[in-house]
């Protein structure tokens, strides 16, 4: 049973991570930039820079998840950050936070 659980987990987790990478490229890179520097399209409000260590210092993972799930408005930020993760599972949100964090310089 334990072996089954572990092997199922190993099968699923790289798939979720791969999803985060392709979701990021498809849904986030246009605004946040391909490598997360916040240098996508020019907007009146600058998209968050995920490479900036100060960004990660000033937020918890839970706040970052809320922003992805509910958009900027859910965390007191600009609604120019859309609620793109509204239909995502918790595992998908966690995988995206992990993916974004890996961009930190
Ligand atoms: C239409 C442009 C746009 C797209 C697409 C977009 N974002 Fe954003 N995002 C923004 C803007 C603008 C901000 C800055 C909001 C502010 O500072 O008020 C932001 C901020 C954020 C923040 C930081 C919230 C905070 O605590 O300050 C996170 C996390 C985030 N975006 C994640 C994502 C993810 C993940 C995706 C893809 C699923 C994504 N964004 C797609 C525009 C976008």
Predicted confidence (pLDDT) per residue in 43-94, tens digit: 999 999 999 999 999 999 999 999 999 999 999 999 999 999 999 999 999 9
What distance in angstroms lies between residue 82's CA and the mean position of ligand 1's atoms?
7
Domain residue ranges in the chain: 2-101
Query: Residue 29: what are its φ and ψ, rounded to 5°?
Result: -60, -30
Query: Residue 30: what are its φ and ψ, rounded to 5°?
Result: -60, -35
Q: Look up the pTM and report it.
A: 0.89
CB of 27 sitting under 6 A from ligand 1: yes
| 3-state SS, one letter per residue, for the chain | CHHHHHHHHHHHHHHHHHHHHHHHHHHHHHHHCCCCCCCCCCCCCCCCCCCCHHHHHCCCHHHHHHHHHHCHHHHCCCCCCCCCCCCCCHHHHHHHHHHHHCCCC
What distance in angstroms lies between residue 11's CA and the mean position of ligand 1's atoms?
30
CB of 16 sitting under 6 A from ligand 1: no
CB of 84 sitting under 6 A from ligand 1: yes
pLDDT in tens, 2-35: 665 655 565 556 677 679 999 999 999 999 999 9
Question: Domain 2-101, what fold?
Answer: Cytochrome Bc1 Complex; Chain D, domain 2 (1.10.760)
């Amino acid at each position: 049973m334990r072996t089954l659980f572990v092997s199922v987990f190993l099968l699923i987790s790289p798939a979720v991570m791969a999803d985060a990478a392709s979701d990021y490229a498809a849904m986030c890179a246009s605004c946040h930039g391909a490598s997360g520097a916040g240098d996508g399209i020019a907007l009146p409000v600058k998209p968050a820079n995920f490479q900036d260590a100060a960004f990660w210092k000033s937020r918890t993972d839970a706040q970052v998840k809320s922003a992805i799930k509910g958009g900027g408005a859910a965390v007191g930020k600009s609604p120019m950050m859309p609620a793109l993760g509204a239909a995502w599972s918790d595992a998908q949100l966690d995988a995206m936070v992990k993916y974004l964090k890996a961009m930190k310089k």
